[in-house]
Structure 1
Amino acid sequence: MSSKVGIVSLGCPKNQVDAEMLLFTLKSKGFELVNDPADADAVIVNTCGFIESAKQESINEIIELGKLKQEGKIKAIIVTGCLAERYKNEITRQLYEVDAALGIGANSQIADVVAELLSDNTEHKEKIEEFPDKQLLCLEGRRIQSTPPYTAYLKIAEGCDNRCTYCAIPMIRGKFRSRQPDAVVEEAEQLAKDGVKEIIVIAQDTTRYGEDLFGEPYLAKLLKRLCKIDGLKWIRVLYCYPDRLTDELIDTFAEEEKIVNYIDLPLQHCDGNILKRMNRHGNRESLTALLNKLRAKVPDMILRSTFITGFPGETDEQFEELAEFAAEIKFQRLGCFAYSAEEGTPAASFPDQIDDEIKQHRADIIMEHQQSVMAEYCESLIGKEIEVLVEGYDRIAECFYGRTYADAPEIDGCVFFTANGTKPQPGSFVKVKIIDYTDCDPIGELAE
């Protein structure tokens, strides 16, 4: 009887793609995959180690699984992903529940490690620790989709060269490396053949794609190739960098019907001095000009961004400027995070660190105002018919739900709608007339 393996994948979609490749490797080696960790012989925790809250979530998950192990329900716990890569041997030393810790360069060894941990001669076995060069993380390979069958992530690069002073990603994931365009297109074609209708293009910085291969940005050219694939209806782009939002890329958004008018631009701040200390470029004036240009060329563009409040040295005036900027631009989608001092990053040793309560209070102020911006956006939809990708039926609310082009999965909200007669199927696209909204989620009815 084959051993059963479960995976808990935490953090970003980029990590989720790595987990999907791990799943394929395990299945191809004869392991049975199970959804519920309590049913597994071995559980892999594919961790996030980006900021303090993400690290804590990973640790809490390991501790909870440790209880199942104590009860004899599971035999082995393996930690992979960013936390393992970042803290290496500390994982097995500080978390006694863990049987193996693998850096990202060891992902290809996953089946061998699971087999060893579940073999009969495990009585006095030492814990397994493998941390080869992170560049050995394979960018190509088959995967088992963990997203709904109509939506998939498409990872086009790994690592990061931006070196923002607050960010541990270059330290964890290594230098930026693009996949070859032919390989990306081939994977997207296969996804479309398998029934995927929406692909979400991801990398640590999608707009840097191709610079290491061709000496110039190549994302616009790649997107044009993806748009030619039959079967794909929506192509969504996440994690863009403002400095690399070229006219060619903006024109591609404007011209290509399949690219949804939704862009994720994590700006982090608008004050020129704060951005300089973050090792980022621009200021309020240049960013406002860029966003105005984007909206002029693509009038119904949905802008998503993230801000950091309480970066070392942020004054009350600089925070107020950020709050004014958010109010002026009216990002339809916005996340705001209190600065997290990450060991090993330059910003962690900057003077003028700000009190946790102040950092969080500032983030709360921006998110409170964001509620009114999102409510205003929902108001603007009332009376309109909008296209919705159906995702399912909510038995408690007794209605269907889905996403518009303005909603990325797991990040943004949903549209809830009723349908008389025909029951729309998950993965289908329907027109919904919006009549109201609740908690910034539009409510409507299936259009005739």
Structure 2
Amino acid sequence: MEKLKFGIISLGCDKNRIDSELVIAKLNKKYELVIDPKEADIILINTCGFIESSKQESINTILEMAKYKKIYKCKILIVTGCLSQRYKEELLDLMPEIDIILGVNNYDKLLESIDIFLKNNNKLLYCEDNDNFIYDGERVLTTNKHLAYLRISEGCNNFCTYCVIPKIRGKYRSRKIEDIINEAKILANNGVKELILVAQDTTMYGIDIYNEKKLPFLIKKLSQIEGIEWIRLMYAYPEEITKELILEIKNNLKVCKYIDMPIQHISNSVLRRMNRRGKKEDIINNINMIRKEIKDICLRTSIIVGFPGETEDEFNELKKFIKDFKFDKLGVFEYSQEEGTVAATMSNQIDENIKKLRKEELMLLQQQISRELNENKIGNIYDVLIEKYENGIYYGRSYEMAPDIDGNVFLSSNENFRIGEIIPIKITKALEYDLIGVVYNESCK
């Protein structure tokens, strides 16, 4: 009998991507993966349910794929991920086109659920609340083969008033060091050069199972794996960044001098309403310490505008902070009023138009900052990881650029470079978020 074919659509964050890669490996044991969902007998959508825009994208994707049951080959429509975990029965009631719904803790039920549905056509729902384990195992990478996201923990204990992640993903729980190292070795043996460490909060790694923060130790162990050349740190809470971590980033040659540290706001009054652990003074002190210790550090952050009660003065304080501290990379998000969160019940919700205007104002400011910082890089030489070749142009990233969010280094060359190769590039031109360069050799001096 010919194998059934499956397609997968993965939405949302890097942690969701890892879940999708685990799901693909599981389905691959019995079914055949296809890229085009038009060819799929089974379509699985791994959803995001974090904020309103991501929920809407997930719902629209489900509705679009539901049409494939009528006009193409699709026999089974499966919905997994954060949206299904968050809304459970509501999805099945509102979208009868869905055949199987699995939560973030129930991927072990996937193959069994498909078998049951094929036999009796019964709709199935498994969405358990379980925060005692972390789903891991064999993965099929959906990134370029030279990079992989590596999950070091799951869940979150921070309980920011705007965030539903603790309710969806459960309490904070770290993976064992030996499990992470074993997975990293497998990835390296398969050609991965760049590991991107992800969690809801990477800085708290180990606190639950080792009774201390073990991120610096973990990074050191990962850097000893042959084949791994870059280690990148994402989602590091600024108030939890320690001197030990800073020194490990500084002194470890394999660690990208890059930290993603979401601060969300700088006004102490807003931070209190958000239930963020740190204060303005803590954030500023850590930024100054990082920049003092690590030459050429690249700092990325994310900001929320329009949080309930955000006054003009609080917004202007944030704007001044961004102007003064000049982050290398910055993302701005409009506050999303999410049911089930404390912030959703707060008075003084901000008008949507004001949120939009504040976001635009900060993004314009950051665009100017980014352009100025990039212009200062003209003449600099960077090791660049080549990721794509298209229409005579190579696309690559320096240590300052995380994939998909931070821009590219472009170069035109008659040389034949391999995807995944790291080559020296001299910067010749700067754009707002991207850089243009030439291959660096003796003639460039």
Q: Which amino acid aligns with 1:194?
A: N
Instruction: Determine the structure 2 residue equivalent to 1:41.
Output: 41
Matches of 2:182 and 2:141 in 1, distance apart?
Answer: 16
Q: Deviations over 1:415-447 (max 9, x none)?
A: 110113x21110000111111133421111122
CA contact (8 A) 1:45 1:78 kept: yes
Residues 54-73 of structure 1: matches in 2 within 5 Å? 54-73=54-73
Runs of 5+ consecutive residues of structure 1 not aligned to the other structure: none
Instruction: Determine the structure 2 residue equivalent to 1:6.
Output: 7
- Residue 143 (structure 1) aligned with residue 136 (structure 2): no
Matches of 1:72 and 1:38 in 2, distance apart?
Answer: 6
Q: Deviations over 1:349-384 (max 9, x none)?
A: 011111111111111110111101111121011122
CA contact (8 A) 2:239 2:286 kept: no
Instruction: Determine the structure 2 residue equivalent to 1:338.
Output: 334
Matches of 1:252 and 1:384 in 2, distance apart?
Answer: 24
Residue in structure 1 matching 2:257, options 234, 238, 261: 261
Residues 199-210 of structure 1: matches in 2 within 5 Å? 199-210=195-206
Q: Which amino acid aligns with 2:209?
A: L
CA contact (8 A) 1:103 1:134 kept: no
TM-score by length of structure 2 reads 0.97
Q: Secondary structure at the match of 1:211?
A: coil
Deviation at 1:97, TM superposition (A): 2.1
Q: Deviations over 1:70-110 (max 9, x none)?
A: 21431111000000000001111112321111111211111
- Residue 168 (structure 1) aligned with residue 164 (structure 2): yes
Instruction: Determine the structure 1 residue equivalent to 2:437.
Output: 444
Matches of 2:280 and 2:358 in 1, distance apart?
Answer: 18
Q: Which amino acid aligns with 1:190?
A: I
- Residue 403 (structure 1) aligned with residue 404 (structure 2): no
Q: Secondary structure at the match of 1:401?
A: strand
Instruction: Determine the structure 1 residue equivalent to 2:424.
Output: 431
Q: Secondary structure at the match of 2:105?
A: helix
Deviation at 1:136, TM superposition (A): 6.2
Instruction: Determine the structure 2 residue equivalent to 1:23.
Output: 24
CA contact (8 A) 1:284 1:325 kept: no
Deviation at 1:50, TM superposition (A): 0.3
- The percent identity for this pair of structures is 43
Matches of 2:148 and 2:282 in 1, distance apart?
Answer: 34
Instruction: Determine the structure 2 residue equivalent to 1:214.
Output: 210
Q: Alignment length, in residue pairs?
A: 440
With 67-76 and 245-254 compared, the bigger mean Cα shift is at 67-76
Distance 1:151 1:229, change over 3 A: same
Matches of 1:319 and 1:11 in 2, distance apart?
Answer: 28
Please provide the CA RMSD for this pair. 1.2
TM-score by length of structure 1 reads 0.96
Matches of 2:274 and 2:380 in 1, distance apart?
Answer: 41
CA contact (8 A) 2:395 2:409 kept: yes
Runs of 4+ that moved beyond 4 A: none
CA contact (8 A) 1:85 1:102 kept: yes
Matches of 1:183 and 1:211 in 2, distance apart?
Answer: 16
Instruction: Determine the structure 1 residue equivalent to 2:74.
Output: 74
Instruction: Determine the structure 1 residue equivalent to 2:83.
Output: 83
Matches of 1:384 and 1:255 in 2, distance apart?
Answer: 21
